[in-house]
Amino acid sequence: MKRFRFLLPCFIFLHACNGGQDEQASGAETSTIPEVPAIGYTVLNAYPHDTAAFTQGLEIHDGKLYESTGLVGRSSLRLTDLQTGRVSLQKRIDSPYFAEGITIRNDTLYQLTWQNREVFLYNVKDFSLIKKISWSADGWGITHDSSSLYISDGSDKIYVVRPGDLKLERVISVYDNSGPVNNLNELEFVRGQIFANRWQYDHIVRIDPVTGQVTGRIDLKDLLIRNSKADLSYLKVPGSMGELNGAVLNGIAWDEAGDRMLVTGKLWPHIFEIRLQP
């Protein structure tokens, strides 16, 4: 469902050309950049997931699982029990909004919207709206570190912004040995590195947040098929949501306390718990 992207306004374009110059320069000589190494993983568990959830964002906070789902008229924000898949708290996001990625910082939940150019800020305890903030581009994925938020727009750029008002601090240009890496979608900070789901690709890339270089790749091709006993034929029914919108890999949540990652996809029947190899 992501077929178009708005052009960034001039101030971001100029920043990307000037303030992000160091990141771009570091990716200029791709011939000297080594091939991206594979990151191994082990599938530990498969948990139930709502097959009507068009997953856009996934987050673990204080041991609880939060999910943002998309599509106009079907978008939502959810608190879900991982073991059972039961939704204990839900906020519906009315039309014309298409909800996207989420992150939680200091008990404030940030939820992007796709082409609506707005970011919602909620109280994480009850999903009460704190405020809305205008954003200058498509909203795809979002994560944070101890001081900043990181937002993707489907290009090879990640925008580092100030929490609370989204003031732009710098731009990261993401690249590997083949050049710029685009379609950056759902984001998650893991052990000081950014992990990004690439929309319509079956892998997750690990990104150095300082240089923008891709330093690892998790190959999740056929993850659902290989690890599910569920009847997946509903995803291929002609004219169905899965067939029209793409039941693709989308959703990363990092549980630091459990040293585990949760991954899922749009309309998938499972959330998979995986452990990354060192």
Reported as a single tens digit per residue, the pLDDT across 132-141 is: 999 999 999 9
**Domain-located, residue 277:** no
* Pairing, β 260-265 against β 184-190: unpaired
**Domain-located, residue 45:** no
Q: Please, what is the average pLDDT of the chain?
A: 90
Residue 271 pLDDT greater than 70, yes or no: yes
d(CA 208, CA 194): 7
Report the domain count for the chain. Answer: 1
Look up the domain containing 189 and give its range: 10-36+52-220
Q: What is the pLDDT of residues 36-66, one digit of tens each?
A: 999 999 999 999 999 999 999 999 999 999 9
**Domain-located, residue 2:** no
- 17's enclosing H/E stretch is helix 10-17
**Domain-located, residue 162:** yes
d(CA 264, CA 272): 6
**Domain-located, residue 3:** no
| CB 190, CB 263: distance < 8 Å | no
Instruction: From 54, 53, 97, select the one nearest 72 (Cα to Cα).
Output: 97
**Domain-located, residue 152:** yes
For residue 23, give the CATH number of its domain. 2.130.10.10
Range with the lowest mean pLDDT among 71-75, 141-145, 208-212, 237-241? 237-241
Length of the chain: 278
| The pLDDT value given to residue 28 | 45
Q: What is the DSSP letter of 162?
A: -
Q: What's the rounded mean pLDDT across residues 184-192?
A: 96
